[in-house]
Amino acid sequence: METKMNKKFAMWKNIPREKIHWQPVIDPDKCTGCGMCVTSCGREVFGFDAEKKKAVVANPLNCMVGCTSCEIWCVFNAISFPDHQYVKDLIKEKRLLILAKKQLKEQLLLS
């Protein structure tokens, strides 16, 4: 299965997405192939291996940093993520709260 990154997801808060280690991992022993992750992720992170009848992480760099929705949707607990503290530490280390406040101010001015 070919991996592709949507160009609009290439950066997260001015950080190249490939420098951020955040993507789901599927435990193939727990995955039943129900397709919930494949059909629910709006960023096309998942694909489906028809031969194995299992979901696969096809486009990991499309995953929204910090998002864990698919992990919650998976009733078989087959999807996991790195420790959430990783994202919190990244926000602190890169001083992203300053950027977020600037973006918020800009959004409020536009509305």
Tell me if the pTM is above 0.75.
yes
The CATH number for 35's domain is 3.30.70.20
- Whether residue 58 lies inside any domain: the answer is yes
User: Is the pLDDT reported for residue 111 higher than 90?
Assistant: no
Domain assignment present for 34: yes
Residue 52, domain extent: 7-82
- Whether the per-residue pLDDT at 1 is higher than 60: the answer is no
Domains: count for the chain: 1
Q: Is residue 56 part of a domain?
A: yes
91 is a domain residue: no
Is 100 among the domain residues? no
Question: pLDDT tens digits, residue range 12-43?
Answer: 999 999 999 999 999 999 999 999 999 999 99
Is position 50 within any domain? yes
DSSP the chain: ------GGGSEETTEEGGGS----EE-TTT-----HHHHH-TT--EEEETTTTEEEE--GGGSPTT--HHHHH-TT--EE-S-THHHHHHHHHTTHHHHHHHHHHHHHHH-
Residues 50-72: pLDDT tens digits? 999 999 999 999 999 999 999 99
Task: Examine residue 87 and state whether it is found in any structural domain, yes or no.
Answer: no
